[in-house]
Amino acid sequence: MSCSCNYFLLRGAHAPVGSKERLCRHLRRFYAQRGGLAPIVNMVLLDDVHFCESDQLWSGEVEGVPVAIAWREGDPWVTLYSRNNSPGQPAQFERFNYHLGRQDWADGRMPRFNAAVIKSMLGEWFGQ
Protein backbone atom coordinates (compact mmCIF):
# COMPACT_ATOMS: atom_id res chain seq x y z
CA MET A 1 0.00 0.00 0.00
CA SER A 2 1.14 3.49 -0.73
CA CYS A 3 -0.23 7.01 -0.77
CA SER A 4 0.59 10.26 -2.55
CA CYS A 5 0.32 12.50 0.55
CA ASN A 6 3.35 14.37 1.90
CA TYR A 7 3.55 12.30 5.09
CA PHE A 8 3.77 9.06 3.17
CA LEU A 9 6.22 10.40 0.59
CA LEU A 10 8.55 11.94 3.21
CA ARG A 11 8.30 9.36 6.02
CA GLY A 12 5.95 6.45 5.41
CA ALA A 13 7.52 5.23 2.20
CA HIS A 14 10.88 4.87 3.98
CA ALA A 15 9.49 2.91 6.95
CA PRO A 16 9.61 -0.88 6.92
CA VAL A 17 6.62 -2.62 5.36
CA GLY A 18 4.24 -3.65 8.12
CA SER A 19 5.37 -0.99 10.61
CA LYS A 20 2.99 1.56 12.12
CA GLU A 21 5.21 4.41 10.93
CA ARG A 22 4.30 3.55 7.35
CA LEU A 23 0.63 4.42 7.86
CA CYS A 24 -0.44 7.94 6.97
CA ARG A 25 -3.94 9.01 7.97
CA HIS A 26 -5.27 8.00 4.54
CA LEU A 27 -3.96 4.44 4.84
CA ARG A 28 -5.18 4.21 8.44
CA ARG A 29 -8.66 5.26 7.30
CA PHE A 30 -8.51 2.69 4.48
CA TYR A 31 -7.67 -0.14 6.90
CA ALA A 32 -10.33 0.97 9.41
CA GLN A 33 -13.05 1.13 6.74
CA ARG A 34 -11.94 -2.12 5.14
CA GLY A 35 -13.40 -3.99 8.09
CA GLY A 36 -12.36 -7.08 9.94
CA LEU A 37 -10.43 -5.23 12.65
CA ALA A 38 -11.42 -5.06 16.29
CA PRO A 39 -13.30 -1.85 17.20
CA ILE A 40 -10.48 -0.76 19.55
CA VAL A 41 -7.97 -1.03 16.68
CA ASN A 42 -10.26 1.07 14.47
CA MET A 43 -10.39 3.74 17.19
CA VAL A 44 -6.61 3.93 17.32
CA LEU A 45 -6.32 4.01 13.52
CA LEU A 46 -8.92 6.76 13.12
CA ASP A 47 -7.66 8.95 15.98
CA ASP A 48 -5.35 10.82 13.59
CA VAL A 49 -2.35 10.56 15.89
CA HIS A 50 0.93 9.94 14.07
CA PHE A 51 2.96 7.28 15.80
CA CYS A 52 6.73 7.61 15.68
CA GLU A 53 9.05 4.65 15.46
CA SER A 54 9.96 5.14 19.13
CA ASP A 55 6.32 4.95 20.25
CA GLN A 56 5.13 1.78 21.90
CA LEU A 57 1.60 0.40 21.57
CA TRP A 58 -0.06 -2.27 23.70
CA SER A 59 -3.52 -3.68 23.09
CA GLY A 60 -5.45 -6.14 25.21
CA GLU A 61 -8.21 -6.36 27.79
CA VAL A 62 -8.29 -4.90 31.28
CA GLU A 63 -11.05 -6.36 33.44
CA GLY A 64 -12.73 -7.70 30.30
CA VAL A 65 -12.75 -4.28 28.58
CA PRO A 66 -10.71 -3.74 25.37
CA VAL A 67 -7.92 -1.23 25.93
CA ALA A 68 -5.07 0.16 23.82
CA ILE A 69 -2.19 2.06 25.44
CA ALA A 70 0.42 4.15 23.61
CA TRP A 71 3.52 5.80 25.07
CA ARG A 72 6.81 7.32 24.05
CA GLU A 73 10.05 6.77 25.96
CA GLY A 74 10.81 9.79 28.14
CA ASP A 75 7.36 11.37 27.71
CA PRO A 76 5.35 11.51 30.96
CA TRP A 77 2.04 11.36 29.07
CA VAL A 78 0.44 8.04 28.17
CA THR A 79 -2.47 7.87 25.73
CA LEU A 80 -5.04 5.16 26.18
CA TYR A 81 -8.23 4.09 24.53
CA SER A 82 -10.94 2.24 26.41
CA ARG A 83 -14.56 1.35 25.98
CA ASN A 84 -16.69 3.92 27.71
CA ASN A 85 -20.25 2.69 27.31
CA SER A 86 -22.31 -0.23 28.59
CA PRO A 87 -21.33 -3.72 27.39
CA GLY A 88 -24.81 -4.44 25.93
CA GLN A 89 -24.47 -1.58 23.41
CA PRO A 90 -22.33 -1.28 20.26
CA ALA A 91 -18.78 -0.51 21.40
CA GLN A 92 -17.84 3.14 21.76
CA PHE A 93 -14.27 4.00 22.65
CA GLU A 94 -12.74 7.20 23.96
CA ARG A 95 -9.20 8.49 24.24
CA PHE A 96 -7.81 9.36 27.65
CA ASN A 97 -4.46 10.77 28.75
CA TYR A 98 -2.59 9.89 31.92
CA HIS A 99 0.43 11.71 33.38
CA LEU A 100 2.92 9.25 34.86
CA GLY A 101 4.73 11.77 37.07
CA ARG A 102 1.60 13.26 38.61
CA GLN A 103 -0.18 9.89 38.56
CA ASP A 104 -3.33 11.64 37.42
CA TRP A 105 -5.76 11.70 34.51
CA ALA A 106 -5.79 14.74 32.22
CA ASP A 107 -8.71 17.06 33.00
CA GLY A 108 -10.01 14.51 35.52
CA ARG A 109 -11.33 12.37 32.63
CA MET A 110 -10.78 8.66 33.12
CA PRO A 111 -12.14 5.40 31.70
CA ARG A 112 -15.54 4.50 33.08
CA PHE A 113 -15.00 0.82 33.87
CA ASN A 114 -11.33 0.12 34.59
CA ALA A 115 -9.49 3.35 35.53
CA ALA A 116 -8.15 2.11 38.88
CA VAL A 117 -6.78 -1.12 37.40
CA ILE A 118 -5.21 0.73 34.45
CA LYS A 119 -3.62 3.24 36.83
CA SER A 120 -2.16 0.38 38.88
CA MET A 121 -0.99 -1.40 35.72
CA LEU A 122 0.78 1.76 34.47
CA GLY A 123 2.45 2.10 37.87
CA GLU A 124 3.81 -1.44 37.58
CA TRP A 125 4.97 -0.90 33.98
CA PHE A 126 6.68 2.43 34.58
CA GLY A 127 7.79 1.99 38.19
CA GLN A 128 5.49 4.54 39.77
- Confirm if 31 and 50 have CB atoms less than 8 A apart: no
Question: Hey, what amino acid is at 104?
Answer: D
Name the pTM for this structure: 0.78
Whether the CA torsion 98, 71, 8, 66 is positive or negative: it is negative
What does the pLDDT read at residue 50? Answer: 59
Give the C-alpha separation, 72 to 78, whole Å. 8
Q: What are the E-state strand segments in the chain? A: 55-62, 65-72, 77-83, 93-99, 104-105
Q: Note down pLDDT in tens along the chain; length 128 residues.
A: 789 999 899 988 998 887 778 888 898 888 888 878 788 888 887 886 656 667 888 989 999 888 999 898 889 999 999 988 887 888 888 999 999 999 999 999 999 989 999 999 999 999 86
Task: Write down the pLDDT at residue 62.
Answer: 93
Q: What phi-psi label fits residue 24: left (phi over 0), alpha (psi between -120 and 50 degrees) or beta?
A: beta
Question: Quick check: helix, strand or coil at residue 26?
Answer: helix
Residue 111 contacts residue 122 (beta carbons within 8 Å): no
